């Protein structure tokens, strides 16, 4: 199920602007890795280069190697859609498809990739919604529009949608930043549960959240605005939050910077 | 606090302000109208139109004065602007209501079965009956063919511009579409006359050029295409990027994302744009006259021989000397408007059917 992600000398550009430089990182299967760092340091950019979403933007490109179990996803012969099927993504703002019902939203990935058997879809929908802790709340209104749910429910719907296609890796970009503490807690529980099946990489601005949910933490930073972001320190979460080896990391997590 | 003007200086207890009573607006209106009537009719400088216009102006001034005196300047400005906006709304609706009323009151005279079931074939100047069956057939066929040509082309073109077009080519296309939007309909008609009727149609007709409904459909297509491309393009651009990215992130290929996510989301807007262009095409007279020629008889075949259309029928009846023809023209105009209205409502309902109800 879960696969190992390895980035070697990854640079990402927006046109001529270099947003991240020389990122080297290894993410083990079935772990949760948190990406933290000040705003604009390239966390989202790095996350989006892991499933090749970065190149969706005009003029954006990525250099370096990113492997998924030894296979370079930036290889010329790799099909982008296959990469994205293996590496799912949850966005900062919930983005359910407005023309679809809750049910259709959850199985959108399957349906649009050619799965049409009613029974299969039904089963996948229930399983994903249960995994996303949303089943009990929506089981009586599966045919109602997904956009009619609350923000927290929508975000869990998007998580259900992502895990319904059974990816190997799940990327989350500040999935809780628009949510209340209770929904946040629900999603953190969920991340903990999902760890058994997926490799998870999560961007967060919430230090407690990083400390609570992650096994490993990567700290990104920039020198000055306009400089590319770099990976400053990458270690066990325990270590980063108790005894970081770089002064800059310590300054950041204790709130003296950023 | 001192930086604020006195009126905005909210000190304790001043949240409650004096309000004009509800009848004040009506009273001001009555007084303003009476005053303006006395002024205009008394001096004999105009009729009731001037009374209403002057009355409206006097009303605005009087109402502002009253509100200013009782409620203070901020509130007075607010009320004056609301009144202005409401009068603009009334002004915009008045012509529309007037057109509708004129159409219905004049068109009702010939609104009978005979009108819809007969053509103008063998109808002389002294004959009271005669109808627009041939014209209705013509309009439906010409606009239908034009829609069949332009909707796929226009929507696909817009998809290309929004989703795939980068660089010089798409800039050029967009520029030419903009230029095409401004083409006068008579020019579109002349173009099809020169190209299709005079050059291409002889190839199918033993060397004889011939008018046809299809040629009219081509001319209408020239007019509809740029409108459809532009309106569809705007609607597609309104679909938020996160929706597309949400689909990409599920491993959905780009073309499927467009087909199953982007288009359904933008569908109601796209349909509105298409219906606007169809409505415009259905009302075009000049190109139909130029390339379909017009006829008094029923012709179901859009590819051969002259066809008429409703707008052409209106034109020919309105300029006819028979004393029965004005009534036919009015009823045909009413039919045209009703036809477009029915089409629009049907399209809207269809576009909505797939939408989920909250
Ligand atoms: N679409 C874009 N076009 C050009 N530059 C961009 C674009 N998106 C981001 N950038 C730039 O790339 C750099 C990294 O941005 P990124 O969004 O990855 O930061 P981040 O760490 O996710 O910040 P935040 O915590 O605020 O989300 C920033 O300097 C930003 O201005
Ligand atoms: Mg970000």
Structural domain contains residue B8 = no
Chain B contacts of A101, Cβ < 8 Å? Answer: 356
Residue with CA closest to ligand 1 atom 30:
A40
Sign of CA dihedral B255, B256, B262, B263: positive
Residues B76 and B199 grouped into a single domain: no
Per-residue pLDDT at A231 exceeds 60: yes
Let me know whether B175 and B254 are in one domain. Answer: yes
Nearest CB neighbour to B250, from listed A58, A108, A143: A108
Q: Per the domain annotation, does A54 fall within a domain?
A: yes
| In a shared domain, residues B176 and B312 | yes
Quick one: B210 and B281 in the same domain? yes
| Residue B147 is assigned to a structural domain of this protein | yes
Where residue A240 sits, what CATH number does that domain have? 3.40.50.300
Are B103 and B120 members of one domain?
no
pLDDT value of residue B177 = 93
Residue B13 maps to a domain: no
What pLDDT does residue A183 have?
A: 81
For residue A186, pLDDT over 50 is answered with yes
The 10 Å CB-count burial string (b at 16+, else e) for A176-203 is: beebeeebbebbbebbeebbebbbbbbb
Name the phi and psi angles at A200, rounded to 5. Answer: -120, 130
State whether B251 and A89 contact (CB < 8 Å). no
Give the pLDDT confidence score for residue A226 in this predicted structure.
Answer: 82
Distance of CA A173 from the midpoint of ligand 2 (Å)? 7
Q: Is residue A248 part of a domain?
A: yes
Q: Is residue B10 part of a domain?
A: no
Closest CA relative to residue B290, chosen from B200, B219, B209: B219
Interchain CB distance below 8 Å, A81 and B251: yes
Report the residue count for chain B.
Answer: 358
Pick the residue whose CA is nearest to atom 26 on ligand 1. A39
Q: What is the predicted pLDDT for the residue at A89?
A: 94
State which of B67, B88, B108 marks the end of a domain.
B108
Pair (B137, B76) in one structural domain: no
Same domain? For B290 and B267 the reply is yes
| Number of domains into which chain B is organized | 2
Question: In terms of domains, do B212 and B319 share one?
Answer: yes
Q: Is the ipTM of this complex over 0.85?
A: yes
Sheet holding A169-173, edge to edge: A87-90, A169-173, A199-203, A32-36, A216-221, A230-236
A206 alpha carbon to ligand 2 midpoint, in Å? 13
Domain housing A50: 5-99+166-253
CB contact at 8 A, B333 and B285: no
- Supply the range of the domain harboring residue B128: 116-353
Give the pLDDT confidence score for residue B288 in this predicted structure.
93
Quick check: is A69 in a domain?
yes
Pairing of strands A169-173, A87-90: parallel
For A163, the closest chain B residue by CA position comes to: B250
- The answer to whether residues B86 and B134 belong to one domain is no
Residue B18 host element (H or E): none
Q: What is the predicted pLDDT for the residue at B3?
A: 61
Residues B86 and B210 in one domain: no
Examine residue B4 and state whether it is found in any structural domain, yes or no.
Answer: no
Q: Examine the pLDDT at A151 and tell me if it is beyond 80.
A: yes
- In order along its 358 residues, chain B shows pLDDT tens digits of 456 555 555 555 567 777 888 888 888 889 988 998 898 888 888 787 888 888 888 988 998 888 888 888 888 898 889 888 988 898 899 889 999 999 999 999 899 999 999 999 888 888 888 899 999 999 999 999 999 999 999 999 999 999 888 889 999 999 999 999 999 999 999 999 999 999 999 998 888 999 999 999 999 999 999 999 999 999 999 999 999 999 999 999 999 999 999 999 999 999 999 999 999 999 999 999 999 998 999 999 999 889 999 999 999 999 988 899 999 999 999 999 999 999 999 888 888 755 555 4
Report phi then psi at A34, rounded to 5.
-100, 135
Domain end call among B108, B133, B157: B108
Distance of alpha carbon B125 from its chain centroid, rounded? 34
Whether residue A121 is contained in a domain is answered as: no
Cβ–Cβ < 8 Å for A168, A1:
yes
- Same domain for B275 and B155, yes or no, is yes
Measured in angstroms, the CA of B254 and the nearest CA of chain A are apart by: 9
A102-128: average pLDDT: 93
**Closest residue, chain A, to B351 (C-alpha):** A99
Domain stops at, among B87, B108, B129 = B108
Q: Taking residues A156-179, what's their average pLDDT?
A: 91
Mark whether B325 and B193 lie in a shared domain. yes
pLDDT score at A253: 87
Task: Say how many domains are in chain A.
Answer: 1
């Amino acid at each position: 199920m879960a696969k190992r992600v390895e980035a070697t000398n990854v640079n990402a550009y927006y046109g001529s602007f270099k947003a991240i430089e020389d990122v080297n990182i290894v993410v083990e299967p079935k772990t949760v890795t948190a990406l933290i760092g000040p705003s604009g340091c390239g966390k989202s950019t790095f996350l989006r280069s892991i499933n090749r979403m970065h190149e969706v933007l005009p003029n954006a490109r990525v250099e370096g190697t990113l492997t998924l179990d030894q296979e370079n996803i930036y290889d010329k012969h790799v099909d982008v859609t296959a990469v994205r099927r293996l590496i799912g993504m949850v966005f900062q703002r919930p983005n359910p498809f407005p023309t679809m019902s809750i049910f259709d939203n959850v199985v959108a990935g399957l349906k649009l990739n050619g799965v049409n058997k009613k029974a299969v879809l039904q089963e996948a929908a229930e399983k994903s919604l249960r995994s996303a802790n949303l089943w009990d709340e929506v089981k009586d209104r599966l045919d109602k529009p997904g956009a009619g749910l609350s923000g927290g429910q929508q975000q869990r719907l998007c998580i259900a949608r992502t895990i319904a296609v059974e990816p190997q890796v799940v990327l989350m970009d500040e999935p809780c930043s628009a949510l209340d503490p209770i929904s946040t807690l629900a999603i953190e529980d969920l991340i903990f549960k999902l760890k058994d099946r997926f490799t998870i990489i999560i961007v967060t601005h919430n230090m407690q959240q990083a400390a609570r949910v992650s096994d490993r933490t990567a700290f990104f930073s920039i020198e000055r605005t306009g400089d590319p972001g770099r990976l400053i320190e990458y270690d066990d979460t325990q270590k980063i939050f108790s005894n970081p080896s770089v002064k800059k990391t310590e300054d950041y997590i204790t709130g003296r910077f950023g | 606090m001192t930086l604020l003007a006195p009126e905005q200086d909210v000190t304790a207890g001043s949240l409650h302000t004096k309000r004009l009573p509800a009848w004040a607006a009506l009273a001001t209106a009555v007084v303003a109208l009476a005053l303006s009537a006395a002024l205009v009719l008394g001096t004999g400088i105009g009729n009731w139109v001037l009374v209403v216009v002057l009355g409206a102006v006097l009303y605005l001034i009087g109402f502002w004065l009253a509100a200013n005196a009782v409620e203070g300047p901020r509130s007075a400005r607010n009320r004056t602007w609301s009144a202005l906006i409401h009068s603009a709304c009334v002004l915009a609706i008045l012509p529309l209501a007037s057109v509708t009323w004129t159409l219905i009151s004049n068109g009702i005279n010939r609104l009978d079965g005979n009108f819809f079931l007969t053509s103008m074939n063998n109808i002389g100047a002294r004959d009271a009956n005669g109808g627009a069956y041939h014209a209705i057939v013509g309009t439906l066929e010409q606009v239908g063919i034009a829609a069949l040509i332009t909707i796929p082309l226009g929507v696909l073109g817009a998809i290309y511009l929004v989703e795939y077009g980068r660089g010089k080519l798409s800039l050029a296309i967009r520029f030419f579409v903009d230029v095409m939007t401004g083409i006068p309909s008579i020019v579109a008609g002349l173009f099809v006359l020169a190209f299709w009727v005079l050059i291409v149609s002889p190839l199918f007709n033993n060397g004889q050029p011939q008018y046809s409904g299809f040629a009219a459909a081509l001319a209408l297509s020239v007019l509809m295409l740029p409108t459809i491309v532009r309106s569809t393009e705007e609607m597609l651009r309104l679909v938020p990027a996160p929706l597309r990215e949400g689909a990409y992130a599920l491993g959905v290929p780009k073309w499927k994302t467009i087909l199953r996510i982007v288009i359904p989301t933008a569908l109601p807007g796209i349909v509105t744009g298409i219906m606007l262009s169809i409505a415009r095409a259905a009302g075009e007279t000049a190109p139909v006259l130029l390339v379909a020629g017009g006829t008094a008889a029923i012709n179901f075949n859009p590819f051969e021989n002259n066809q008429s259309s409703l707008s052409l029928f209106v034109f020919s009846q309105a300029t006819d000397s028979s004393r029965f023809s004005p009534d036919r023209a009015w009823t045909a105009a009413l039919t045209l408007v009703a036809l477009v209205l029915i089409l629009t409502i049907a399209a809207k309902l269809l576009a909505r059917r797939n939408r989920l109800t909250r």
